[in-house]
Amino acid sequence: KYQNLNLPFYGINQGTVGFLMNQKQDENLINKLNEAEETVIHPLKMHAKKLDGTIEHYLAVNEISILRSGSQAAKLKIIVDDFVRLEELVCDGALVSTPAGSTAYNYSAHGPILPIDSNILALTAMAAFRPRRWRGALIPSKAKIEFLIKEPYKRQVSAYADSKEVKNIKSVKILCENDICYKLLFDKGHGLQERILREQFF
């Protein structure tokens, strides 16, 4: 909503987890802002093509996920840079995560936690049935990732860019928008790199 301002954001947690937020403190806020550590992150962009041929576009800071909508498993073909890497993944879904989002839904799905300064995306399968126990892959952030939905009318699938949902899709293309920069401020000593490292030892 405010990305065109090109200003750093200092988030204050008013909820529960708040991984990209700072703890609420009533005192010394100005000092904390002056001493804050800046981290630059790049979002993913989703191009979701629906069964009716329309295409919807959304940005995601954490991840883009593809999930089955009904009782039947999804069947996905995975293409990276126009090369078919997996002809068929039978699963509940799959997601592509940024380093910043790798400790969230991706980690809950047993995906890897990525260093914040890595130029890598995590492609993680959810409840993969075939290939058995296939968990995913690490993909260069400059790559184009595409999911083609097999039997899309029979095995309906939805796509999500963080919380934005697109129903009844037949394909999804994902790119990292390296030209878009979100500047986040974190309290000194509690930067995003430290948080990601700490998360791995819980």
Domain boundaries, the chain: 3-40+181-199, 43-176
Fold of the domain built from segment(s) 43-176: Tumour Suppressor Smad4 (2.60.200)
Residue 186 confidence (pLDDT) above 90: no
What pLDDT shows up at residue 137? 97
State the average pLDDT over residues 84-99: 97
Residue 192 confidence (pLDDT) above 80: no
HEC letters along the chain? CCHHHCCCECCECCCCCCCCCECCCCCCHHHHHHHCEEEEECCEEEEEEECCCCEEEEEECCEEEEEECCCCCEEEEEEECCEEEEEEEEECEEEEECCCCCCCHHHHCCCCCCCCCCCEEEEEEECCCECCCCCEEEEECCCCEEEEECCCCCCCEEEEECCEEECCEEEEEEEECCCCCEEEEECCCCCHHHHHHHHCCC
Q: pLDDT tens for residues 29-77?
A: 888 888 888 889 999 999 999 999 999 999 999 999 999 999 999 999 9
Q: pLDDT tens for residues 149-164?
A: 999 999 999 999 999 9
Q: Model's pTM, two decimal places? A: 0.88
What pLDDT shows up at residue 199? 74
